[in-house]
Amino acid sequence: MTNTHQHGGHRKLLRQIREIMAAEGSAQKRLDGLVEAIASNLQAEVCSLYLRRPDASMELWATHGLAPTAVHVTTLEAGEGLVGETVRHARPLNLPDAPGHPAFSFHPETREDPFHGFLGVPVLRGGRLLGVLVVQNREARHYSDDDVEALQNVSMVLAEIVSSGDLLSKRELEKVALRPIRAEVLSGLRISDGLAVGRAVLYAPGRVHSDIIADDPEAEKQRLSTAIADLRRTVDALYQGKGNRLGGPSREVLEAYRMFANDQGWLDRLCEAAGSGLSAEAAVERVRGEHRARLLSAKDPYLRERLHDLEDLANQLLRHLGAIEDIEELPEDTVLIAREMGPAGLLELDRSRLKALVLEEGSPTSHAAIVARALRLPVVGHVTGLLDRLSTGDTVLVDGEKGIVSIRPDAATEEAFRALVSDRRQRRVAYARLRDKPAQTRDGKRITLSMNAGLRVDLPQLEESGAEGIGLFRTEFQFLLSDHLPRQSEQMQLYRDVLEAAGDKPVVFRTIDLGGDKVLPYVAHERESNPALGWRAMRMALDRPGLLRYQLRALIEATARRELNIMFPLITTLDEFRAARALLDAEIKRMGRFGKAVPSSVRVGSMVETPAIVWQLEGLLKDADFVSVGANDLMQYFFAADRENPRVSSRYDILNPGALRMLGHIAKLCHNAGRPVSVCGEIAGQCAEAAILIALGFTELSVPPAAIGPVKRMILSLDQKSLGTKLAKWLEDGSDQITGESQGSIRTNLLAYAQENGLPL
């Protein structure tokens, strides 16, 4: 039989299946007709359908050729037999001698002992395995590639029909693992504090209805070829800097996109699927499902990462086919479920309907995380396997305080969680009553509580939170969220808006901190093996000062006749700070020469983010008017743990004695030099860490707006001198006061102290 004849016969099979499934009758009758039609078309003596149960076992649902009495009786344990092998590898298993395979498992009630030829194909939908379709023959037969292709196409059609809910009754659906139904509690990373209850919405393009089976395969192949050509042109335009439809990824990422978009193996699989009777859209979905199931089971992390590239390309290809559309409107009480989310994408969503965000990836210090905190949006990240465990509409409880996500909870669990949400709401009301109250410890130490910001959306919270100013305005956000270099006038307008919102409260602008994980989509950059230790922040600004001078002019003009508080990021040497300050002085003089108004006064500060500058601090304090401790980077470099790597980002604890001694050293030197020092890293907004910072002698904290209320409540209950005395003893003893063992953190001691002294942490 020629390939043309085989393809024609297989397309006839797809049409036959469509007719069988559309006919009247019970689900069992239609499934029996399905396996009989497949066996006849593939000249197989047996065709059987196994569907996956919620406990991962496989149940025989229909058969032609095996004992009919085995249907709904034969059950294979998870991983058992050749069906289990097909599941484990998520790819077809083609054997000429099935009984000779070491994984062969014999169930006498099926009466399958005479059959040798075996072909098993996974039934996949969206990468999720629903079952296995099997054909068998008595003789030792190795099925042809066309037979494998035909069975894969049938399995995809079957997956869509079963998943639609039109075939099986509600009672029958409960026996099949079409979607997870059990309650689960998943752990992740705390990214943004808060509690939320809502319904899951998967952040992926919504499918537009499209027929699965095509009447004209050649026309579908042509549609697919046209879409692939369009996709290639899009990727090439991105690579050459002519567009940003894929979100402006780096050149390295675009090279990967180009490689995959031109991968002949991927393209051949798409064309084969379309030519065998599937629509172009269904062909893309089928090939994506196969790749996804295979790569998710891979142990190699590199291979699993490639899944992201393939899925993105598949989405782009479906968009060119006109088969998908983006979410236009979120439902009420949305808990958005995504693999990753950028800050721009997050800002585009309807905040009134968005209650929380849960990510398979994500880190506490990513830009999306900082935006989420500004929006007071609970976020939990790095939840492994999240997208495969959820379906749109599932109830989700998000605990951003503990980094826990509960999905499909029972009624009692949901009720208890809603009580926690209500309690937190009442606490926010209590915090609001503290808004205008000075942050002063019980023993009279006055603490300045400012807020971190970087977006216009942050500005209303300056008044709402009771913050005493903006201790850190991250100017790079304007650059990162724009698809072009912001003009000087655009920068100046943002800075004026910030100053106007602040009124007479101080604002500290940090100059652009780019490089490392902060890459501009419209500026070329080179790949670095370790970006955190590479060409970033002031190193980049001083080597290529044009962008920094451009920004300095906007800052100087925006603060005309006002005080300009400015600080430079990631200073590692005194020469870097002096060079940056010289650039600022030169720009102020330049503005004066042109007759433009300049700031009435200028205070120039430095971030303390590296151990290197800590040990040059005495010299820095002679030149700087103030310093601010950027604890995120400082702790990253101190512990040699990448804060963007979820595997190691949680391995350090700010309450480690070594880290605290370094912070105490900074506070002492600044106090002796009479220079103001603040802490503006995320730790300043966590009550336990903030209490220790105050005990070390820090009296200025700049925190996320949502943290001002809880931190102020803690300060009002704190006796700074008492905790300072205890802290000195803990650091001197070096042991846990509860267990007596050597301590890697003073956290246990602090929690015991807080309980004894009524300190709310």
- Give the residue from 579, 460, 463 showing the smallest Cα distance to 511: 579
Q: Which two tokens stand for residue 149?
A: 């292709």
- Per the listing, tokens 């603490």 go with 447
Query: Which pair of structure tokens corresponds to residue 242?
Result: 């002519």
Element (DSSP H or E) covering residue 59: strand 58-64
Beta-carbon count within 10 A of 419 CB: 10
Pair of tokens at residue 151:
């069975």
Task: Judge contact between 717 and 698, C-beta under 8 A.
Answer: no
Tell me the angle at which helices 747-757 and 687-696 cross, rounded to the nearest 10 degrees: 90
Q: What is the 3-state secondary structure (H, E, C) of 539-564?
A: HHHHHCCHHHHHHHHHHHHHCCCCEE
List residues bridging with 201 in a β-sheet: 336
Q: How far apart are CA 359 and CA 202, in angstroms?
A: 10
Pairing of strands 379-381, 354-359: parallel
Distance between CA 146 and CA 144 in Å, rounded?
A: 5
Phi then psi for residue 386, to 5 deg, are -60, -50
Question: 367, 382, 670, 687: which one is catalytic?
Answer: 367
Q: What CA–CA distance (Å, rounded) separates 49 from 280?
A: 26
Task: State both tokens at 112.
Answer: 């399958």
First to last CA, the chain: 76
In the sheet with 46-52, reading across from the earlier edge strand, the strands are 75-76, 58-64, 46-52, 128-137, 117-125, 93-95
CA angle 299, 302, 303 (to 5 degrees): 65
Nearest C-alpha neighbor of 358 from the set 333, 376, 340: 340
**Cβ contacts of 214 within 8 Å, gap of 6 or more:** 220, 274, 277, 278, 279, 280, 282
- Cα 369 to Cα 358, 363, 644, 650, distances in angstroms: 11, 7, 12, 16
CA distances to 274, 429, 444 from 644, rounded to whole Å, are: 41, 34, 39
Phi, psi of 51 (to 5 degrees): -115, 145
Helices (H) and strands (E) in the chain, counts: 28, 24
Beta-strand relationship, 507-510 and 448-453: unpaired
d(CA 90, CA 520): 39
Is 7 annotated in the active site? no
If one counts every other C-beta atom within 10 angstroms of the C-beta of residue 166, the result is 11
CB 294 within 8 A of CB 266: no
Sign of the dihedral defined by the CA atoms of residues 150, 151, 153, 154, in that order = positive
Is 209 one of the catalytic residues? no
Q: What secondary structure, in 3-state letters, does 634-681 show?
A: HHHHHHCCCCCCCCCCCCCCCCCHHHHHHHHHHHHHHHHHCCCEEECC
Beta bridge partners of residue 563, listed in sequence order: 601
Q: Which residue's entry shows tokens 């085989």?
A: 6
Q: Which residue has the tokens 């101190």?
A: 638
> Catalytic residues, which ones?
367, 680
